[in-house]
């Protein structure tokens, strides 16, 4: 069960729910196994397998299933579980898991009466062990039982002498007693003089002991089974209530207008049923959410929000501040880092202040936050209470971190949308003449207020046939040719003259298709820009200007002066007129004006 806590889970709410549920079901399967209800334990484990567990959890479940099938003498199913489990263990490089599979194989060999292979497998398990950890005391007794049946007394005494101190110093009374019984049987069995009389008597005592233990267990199970169920259900209900409360924090996050108020309310509420002294939210990058140019950002600055005692402190950090911290390890391993008090002292604190050892913390939990598989932030919880490292507390903190992910992504995207909306509105307001959307299906234009005013129309919907009546006849053919190829979905730039109230305006129409994320055309967006130098002239005045050489020279001189002005050049560049340096300004402008005049 402890190995389950090291499994890397997804940061989605669905992933955390699945892991929490799997853990509860796994705990119940162990309880059923302890109550000798192996069938119910197997059913619970199979439920987890059907819910697409992670590779680590799947290997853990399969090894547990194999053990239960062996206990139930279902050797075929046990072998099948082991065969499925082995490739997973090798891919995970799980040496502890591989050792457990070797132990299960030894038990299988015993059940198949292949004692030689069973003995070899057991010997492999104990070959490198100087002393036995508690989990191996029972396995050692199984090995002694096998050696006793095989009459391998020399190997028995070697094992007994090697690990005697491990058994006698253990608090496991059952395995200690069993070890002493095997020791006594080995001594008696090896002494032919007393073997027959003593061996028979000892076996009778041991059999009676097993019968007594069995009857006591049945009584114990009958008395405690209901209590166990009540305990499990109580824990389950308590966990569900806490999960529901954590999920309801989403409402608190989105109730506030600003991020500070949201974070204070969120951490304050979360702290009511989870254990942590303080939390630190570190945001590495917001560039995944907005379209601000890179030169507007200081890439080495990291925003952080430190919550402590219902207060929130904002601080700017640099990446050098993260060196040798738990965040550096989290970024390297790309997974949640859970550090006990002993492990935490190996990390430097992120914020200036006393060390973790001086603070006497009980543990740290650093949870990464992802947006489209990119790490953009992390939240670190710290606590001096022992409750910090409890499995349930860690799960709830992870769930809270997942809710923060959804809030932050929504918040940053909203900020981005507002920014882009402001920029767009500013750009639209800067257009003297205005913009329009083109409805191809109805062959009409939806125009904004500014364009209505410029065109002297009083309706936001303008049929294109009506708009074409405003276009100067000399440019109408060019306009029609440009629109004839509109289905190519290419950006277009069209120059033509509009005749409005006996005045002629030279305008530039920019038309761009708007394509949805599915690759479908939504609409065309267009802008109308008046070209100042040739605009707002009465037709008669325009003809007079053509024949006025002095005015022509003055206009040309004005444009030449503009092009020599650096501020003007950079203004042009800012509006994305590219490759400007490749043109011969004077000659190009001269040719254009001459063409328009004639």
User: Across the strands, what pairs with 305?
Assistant: 281, 314
* Helix runs in 271-390, H state only: 326-333, 341-344, 356-359
Please report which confidence band the pLDDT of residue 580 belongs to, taking 50, 70 and 90 as the band edges: very low
Residue 282 has pLDDT above 80, yes or no: yes
Residue 14 has pLDDT above 60, yes or no: no
pLDDT of residue 489: 80
70 close to 107: Cβ distance less than 8 angstroms? yes
546-585 residues labelled b (16+ CB within 10 A) or e (exposed): eeeeeebeebeeebeebbeeeeebeeeeeeeeeeeeeeee
What's the CATH code, domain 431-539? 3.30.450.20
Cα distances (Å, whole numbers) of residue 589 to 344, 495, 555 = 71, 15, 10
Highest-pLDDT range among 225-229, 244-248, 317-321: 317-321
pLDDT of residue 402: 82
Residue 513 has pLDDT above 50, yes or no: yes
Please report which confidence band the pLDDT of residue 434 belongs to, taking 50, 70 and 90 as the band edges: confident
Please report which confidence band the pLDDT of residue 247 belongs to, taking 50, 70 and 90 as the band edges: low
Please report which confidence band the pLDDT of residue 498 belongs to, taking 50, 70 and 90 as the band edges: very high
pLDDT of residue 576: 37
How do the domains of the chain map onto residue ranges?
Answer: 2-236, 255-425, 431-539, 548-598
CATH architecture of 2-236: Alpha Horseshoe (1.25)
Of the two residues 489 and 5, the one the predictor is more confident about is 489
Mean pLDDT of the chain: 76
pLDDT of residue 189: 75
Judged by average pLDDT, the poorest of 218-227, 264-273, 392-401 is 218-227
pTM beyond 0.75: the answer is no
| Reduced 3-state DSSP string for 229-251 | HHHHHHHHHHHHHHHHHHHHHHH
Cα distances (Å, whole numbers) of residue 572 to 427, 496, 577 = 15, 21, 6
pLDDT tens profile 55-111: 888 888 898 889 889 988 899 999 999 999 999 998 988 888 888 999 999 999 999
Cα distances (Å, whole numbers) of residue 196 to 179, 192, 207, 249 = 21, 8, 17, 73
Q: How many CB atoms lie within 10 A of CB 93?
A: 8
User: Looking at residues 500-519, what average pLDDT do you find?
Assistant: 82
pLDDT of residue 111: 92
pLDDT of residue 577: 36
Q: Which two tokens stand for residue 558?
A: 């004005």
Residue 478 has pLDDT above 70, yes or no: yes
String of DSSP letters for 187-232 = HHHH-HHHHHHHHHHHHHHHHHHHHHHHHHHHHHHHHHHHHHHHHH
**Domain 255-425 class?**
alpha beta
Of the two residues 3 and 461, the one the predictor is more confident about is 461
Indicate if 431-539 has the same CATH topology as 2-236: no
pLDDT tens profile 374-429: 888 999 999 988 888 888 788 888 888 888 888 888 888 777 776 666 656 655 65
The set of residues, in sequence order, having a beta carbon less than 8 Å from that of 504 and lying 6+ positions away, is 472, 497, 498, 535, 537, 538, 539, 542
Please report which confidence band the pLDDT of residue 544 belongs to, taking 50, 70 and 90 as the band edges: very low
């Amino acid at each position: 069960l402890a190995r389950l806590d090291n499994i890397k889970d997804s940061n989605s709410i669905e992933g955390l729910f699945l892991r929490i549920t799997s853990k509860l079901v796994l705990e119940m399967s162990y309880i059923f196994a302890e109550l000798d209800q192996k069938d119910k334990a197997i059913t619970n484990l199979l439920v987890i397998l059907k819910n697409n567990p992670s590779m680590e959890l799947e290997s853990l479940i399969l090894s547990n299933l194999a053990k239960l099938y062996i206990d139930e003498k279902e050797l075929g199913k046990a072998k099948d579980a082991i065969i499925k489990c082995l490739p997973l263990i090798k891919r995970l490089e799980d040496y502890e898991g591989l050792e457990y599979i070797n132990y299960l194989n030894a038990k299988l060999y015993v059940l198949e009466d292949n004692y030689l292979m069973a003995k070899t497998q057991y010997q492999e398990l104990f070959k490198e062990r100087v002393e036995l950890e508690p989990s191996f005391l029972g396995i050692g007794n199984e090995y002694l039982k096998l050696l006793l049946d095989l009459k391998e007394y020399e190997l028995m005494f070697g094992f007994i002498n090697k690990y005697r101190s491990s058994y006698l110093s253990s608090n496991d009374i059952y395995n200690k007693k069993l070890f002493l019984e095997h020791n006594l049987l080995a001594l008696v069995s090896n002494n032919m003089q007393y073997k027959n009389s003593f061996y028979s008597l000892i076996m009778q005592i041991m059999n009676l002991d097993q019968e007594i233990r069995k009857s006591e267990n049945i009584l114990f199970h009958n008395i405690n089974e209901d209590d166990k169920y009540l305990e499990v259900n109580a824990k389950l209900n308590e966990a569900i209530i806490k999960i529901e409360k954590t999920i309801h924090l989403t409402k608190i996050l989105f109730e506030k207008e600003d991020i500070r108020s949201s974070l204070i309310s969120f951490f304050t509420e979360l702290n009511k049923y989870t254990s942590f002294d303080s939390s630190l939210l570190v945001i590495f990058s917001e560039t995944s959410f907005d379209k601000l140019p890179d030169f507007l950002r200081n890439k080495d600055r990291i925003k952080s929000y430190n919550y402590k005692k219902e207060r929130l402190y904002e601080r700017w950090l640099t990446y050098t501040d993260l060196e040798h911290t738990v965040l550096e390890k989290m970024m390297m391993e790309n997974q949640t880092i859970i550090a006990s008090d002993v492990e935490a002292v190996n990390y430097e604190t992120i914020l200036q202040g006393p060390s973790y050892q001086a603070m006497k913390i009980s543990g740290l939990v650093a949870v990464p936050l992802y947006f489209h598989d990119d790490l953009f932030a992390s939240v670190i919880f710290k606590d001096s209470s022992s409750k910090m490292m409890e499995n349930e507390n860690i799960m709830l903190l992870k769930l809270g971190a997942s809710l923060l992910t959804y809030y932050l992504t929504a918040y940053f995207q909203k900020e981005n949308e507002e920014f882009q909306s402001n920029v767009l509105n500013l750009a639209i307001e800067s257009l003297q003449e205005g913009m329009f959307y083109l409805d191809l299906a109805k062959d009409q234009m939806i125009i904004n207020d500014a364009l209505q005013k410029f065109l002297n129309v009083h309706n936001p919907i303008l049929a294109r046939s009506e708009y074409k009546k405003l276009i100067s006849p000399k440019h109408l053919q060019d306009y029609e040719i440009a629109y004839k190829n509109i289905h190519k979905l290419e950006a277009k730039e069209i120059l033509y003259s509009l005749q409005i109230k006996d005045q002629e305006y030279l305008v530039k129409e920019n038309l761009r298709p708007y394509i949805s994320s599915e690759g479908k055309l939504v609409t065309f967006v267009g802008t109308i820009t008046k070209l100042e130098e040739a605009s707002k002239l009465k037709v008669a005045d325009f003809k007079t200007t053509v024949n006025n050489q002095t005015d022509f020279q003055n206009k040309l001189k004005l444009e030449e002066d503009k092009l020599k002005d650096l501020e003007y050049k950079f203004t042009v560049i800012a509006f994305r007129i590219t490759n400007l340096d490749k043109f011969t300004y004077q000659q190009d402008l001269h040719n254009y004006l001459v063409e328009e005049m004639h």
